[in-house]
Amino acid sequence: MKAVQVAAATLGLATVSAAGQPLTYPPARKTQQVDIYHGVRVADPYRWLEDDRSTETGRWVKAENQLTAAYLAKIPNRHQVRARLELLYNYAKYSPPFRRAGLLFYRKNSGLQNQSVLYVQKGLSGVPRVLLDPNTLSRDGTSQLATYSVSKDGKYLGYTVSTGGSDWQEAHVIEIATGKVLADHLKWLKFTDLSWAGDGFFYARFPTPQPGRELLSKNESQAIYFHRVGTPQSQDELVYQDKQHPARLFYIATTEDERFAVLTVEDPNEGKTGNALFYRDLTKNNKKFRPIVASVTDDQYAVVDNLGDKFLVLTNWKAPNKRLLLCDPAVAAAKWKVVIPEKMNSIDSMAQAGGKLFANYLEDVATHVYVYSLDGKLENEITLPGPGSATGFVGERGDTSVFYSFSSPNIPPTIYRYEIATRRSGTFRAPAIPGFDPDRFETKQVFYKSKDGTRIPMFLTYRKGLALDGSNPTLLYAYGGFDLITAPVFSALRLALLEQGFVYASANIRGGGEYGEKWHQAGTKLRKQSVFDDFIAAAEWLIAQKYTSCEKLAIQGASNGGLLMGAVINQRPDLFRAAIVQAGVLDMLRFQKFTIGAGWISDYGSSDNAEQFKALYAYSPLHNIRRGVKYPAVLITTADHDDRVVPGHSFKYAAAMQAQVSRANPVLIRIDTNSGHGPSSTTKVLEQTEDIYSFLFCNLGITPHFAASRR
């Protein structure tokens, strides 16, 4: 029987390689696995590929990687692509600095270092000193500095390290004055900050997973602990857990004065998009967390800081675009004071520094930053260089200035220093990208209508002098989920496409947070199809306006955006020439069974619910592949340490695509090693981008040529 199955799996699997030669896909065994969901029988013949550590899966992965590597190696001028990417990326990159106890901390990558290095200096004029160089933590440069936090007195640095791209982290402590790494070593941390309080910090961890299942098993029973510097993890104090709700997620932070520990509780497994909020007064012996918001609902609450015994809370409760409240836990919510009311535009983020509030608003996706007094009086808007995205504004109450980074599709990330008293910004650090001339390119925002008439924004970037004749290669990108914003930002690597005449289009479709919670909710659960409709409408608009044509249009998306890619090429395979499906959520019936997947039920719903199953089954990329239909050329990417969207999604999807769709165009999968949900090092970034761009050039009929003066 197995021999018959293998033989059948290899029949008719030939397609054309980059050199015009037939491709033969590796065989993938099909089983008789069938599941029943609410009376509906659903086949899952490649279930065995979910076990990414099995010998059989390993053989399949090796064969697929060999096929993909051979295909890519034959693409003309491929060596020029990598050379150009390295040159474009080889410039100094900085993070906005922040202050603690008179010290300034920031990260810097000199250009092609695998990991950015953490520096410290005394004040603005001090001599920079390397505090932590992650490049020394592994031979291949894939150990990453995941998160870090400085104690209030500036004595200690707490930091976590991710190995090989996994979401799992291990925490350590450095004595800042000497640079000495102390003996502290904490394991099995995930989705956590290190929040200092006196001589230690709060953190979140999960129970030790079963050996061999670390990157696959469900993440449940998270708990909050407190670690004191100089003690073993076994002595850490259990601060909070909820045995009745093992799927709940917890985040803990301390206020700047370290008086309060603030606990955020989420329950996405129950389909809730909001959170509960609790606090503990660390100056008192009572260790019980008291409620600010007692129950998890669809409303979101985040503490910006405390004012005495009250809390400044940013929330979308009764305000989809968010507002700032002064919350007194001792009185009913109806009596809380509105500090900054809801406005027409949504608040993306808010920070406190120097006795001011910095509110980051989104106006048609572009950042606008307004400065308020602590009692909510508008003082001024910070003038930004133009439409784009600004981040930062982090500081302490006594600071006289803050730093922020601004970027747009045509402006590289530039760091500014904002003087609070004078209300003026000045350039602090500006990047110098070899051969980049912003005057050669143009960015503009357009609006188009989706299937139901909804107005959708989209940013276009291209070389000046573009002819609207339908012949331009175009890459359309979107995400559309989890309240996340697809911001208009710069990418040095993207220049390699723009230089070859590409139009880069970034669509701000529903499901994201571009227009507040209503925009987010409009693309969730039973309304998820609107996300796909928005993306398809973007492609149709680009073609109708003669920016491109079906034969010159490629699409790209990652994670939830990978789901988007899988869904739209099922629904409109005729509309696109090539698709890049990166780390996609592709099996919508089983995503909740692995690692943190249950946390996505708040956006997707669950196959355990009959009504939601019907919607999920209708668009699930894995379950809606159309046999024999001509699909675009597809490149699927994943990695062996992706424990957020486990590789099984991509493995099963690739096997099913290769077995079912027309052989007119290639369907290839690229499985990276020692990498995770995203590339784990600069080397990995360059390798993956080289492969993706080469695949696009090949399948859009472009032979790249980079002028000698820009190589």
The catalytic residue positions are 559, 677
In the Cβ-directed half-sphere of 208, how many Cα atoms lie within 13 Å?
Answer: 5
Across the beta sheet with 249-254, the strand order is 249-254, 260-266, 275-281, 290-293
Rounded CA Rg of the chain: 25
157-161: list long-range contacts, CB under 8 Å, 24+ apart: 157/118, 157/131, 157/132, 158/194, 158/196, 158/201, 159/118, 159/132, 159/194, 160/189, 160/192, 160/194, 161/134, 161/137
Residue 261's SS3 state is strand
**In angstroms, rounded to a whole number, what is the distance separating the alpha carbons of residues 172 and 179?**
12
Q: Which amino acid is at 289?
A: F
Nearest to 433 by CA among 410, 463, 465, 417: 410
**In angstroms, rounded to a whole number, what is the distance separating the alpha carbons of residues 710 and 707?**
5
Task: Name every residue whose Cβ is closer than 8 Å to that of residue 373 and which is 6 or more positions away in sequence.
Answer: 355, 356, 357, 379
Pair type for strands 633-639 and 578-582: parallel
Q: What are phi and psi of 317, to 5 degrees?
A: -65, 120
Q: Which amino acid is at 206?
A: F
Task: Name every residue whose Cβ is closer than 8 Å to that of residue 7 and which is 6 or more positions away in sequence.
Answer: none
CA distances from 322 to 254, 379, 519, 585 (A): 22, 19, 13, 29
